[in-house]
Chain A
């Protein structure tokens, strides 16, 4: 929610998160290279570096891709989501070490520019077993690079959320390219079933988590609200909404969060302006709706972020008849003040 640009808004949790990533990466690389040296005394350090960074980057990518669906399935994973971009940039850095070193190792000191050699040495694009797998890794690295350099709210605002999100969804294409890079590269030579088993287990886990999370969301979206009157839709009973908490309803195009605050019900658009977090899964703290993903805040009465912040979400009309809550799905312009519905004591 920065009002001005700063590279990283450090706080204690981010520092802990980053220290853990650093320590973990160091431990992994040491363990991999150490055990490789013990079990394979004729190893060379260049190969150890290439392989250790490759496997670490791939494991980090799996972890990163798991975080999103895990948070949808269990909110206790939210601390992992908060600083996920740092994990992403770390993964890119490790992948960059792998890619750079590989290009140097396999393509430099020859009779062609290394980047020209990358695409002109092996040209068997028509063969599956002999496919130039290094080019797949290269394009995946380009995607990770673009994601890493735009992993900041500055780019989110300047590229527009739509463009930014489209760019960052290329991570799925990058993942597919990386799986092909590994399968058509290393695993064509390293035929021990452990490699393909670990990769398959990783892919299967990602597919399962995403489809489980997706199915859960689809079920939420498909709940019907048949009772309608004068443009309002009956959604729930007043006692179903806890104090300072919300319930989420999917009416028409989007989800709406109905909050209970100070004996009133307020309705705002469920999607946080920052990165699309579910505002209805948040909580009212210090009089503000607080997004559970990164802590962005909005006033319940008008959907505006408290000054000096400028984000705004749409607001909706809510009506209470006896204990029944009625919601008008037609949104007001973002930041419009609405009176809310008073709860009978």
Chain B
């Protein structure tokens, strides 16, 4: 390498000695942090006071709640991200797999708590007569089945 070139290299690397760490540090300092905030959805109804039955799975927990006036509430806590296009909860008679025979309870979306008022057919002495289906009505496929 000729002398002029050696000098040029040295100058370049002195400049890079300053610019490289400065760039790295400055870029790190200005890295934005996405803020957190309160969510507007789902806006669940207040929970009924008494839990009668609980089913816990990896992706969600289901509680059957009861109020003082003996009305029932199905509470669905969605713990993990849904990876299906749609998800609706159906109550079907035991032995039936056709949602046309069932009752639509409500829809589940993102993570959070969903509460649906349900009728007395959900009471404990009727547990064996029905099952809950989590159903994708866009693809028309059963996602999961829950038996109390």
A residues near B, CB below 8 A?
128-129, 165, 169, 172, 175-176, 179-180, 183-184, 187-188, 191, 196, 199-200, 203, 206-207, 210-211, 214, 217-218, 221, 250, 253-255, 271, 276, 278
Contact = CB atoms under 8 A, between A and B. Distances in A.
A165 B5 contact: yes
Contacts of B19: 176
Given A128-B27, A254-B2, 20 more contacts: A128-B30, A129-B30, A129-B31, A169-B12, A172-B12, A176-B20, A176-B23, A183-B24, A187-B28, A196-B24, A196-B28, A200-B21, A206-B16, A207-B16, A211-B13, A214-B6, A214-B9, A253-B3, A276-B1, A276-B2
Interface string B100-135: 000000000000000000000000000000000000
A254 B3 contact: yes
Given A187-B28, A191-B31, A210-B9, A255 B16 contact: no
Interface of B: 1-3, 5-6, 8-10, 12-14, 16-17, 19-21, 23-24, 26-28, 30-32
B17 A218 contact: no
14 contacts: A128-B26, A129-B31, A172-B12, A183-B28, A187-B27, A188-B32, A191-B31, A196-B24, A206-B16, A207-B16, A211-B13, A214-B6, A250-B3, A276-B2
Main secondary structure of the interface of B (DSSP, over half): helix
Contacts of B20: 176, 179, 203, 207
A278 B3 CA distance: 11
B136 to A, nearest CB: 19
Contacts of B32: 129, 188
A295 to B, nearest CB: 17
Contacts of B3: 221, 250, 253-255
A210 B13 contact: yes
A91 B2 CA distance: 27
Nearest to B4: A253
A254 B5 CA distance: 11
B119 to A, nearest CB: 40
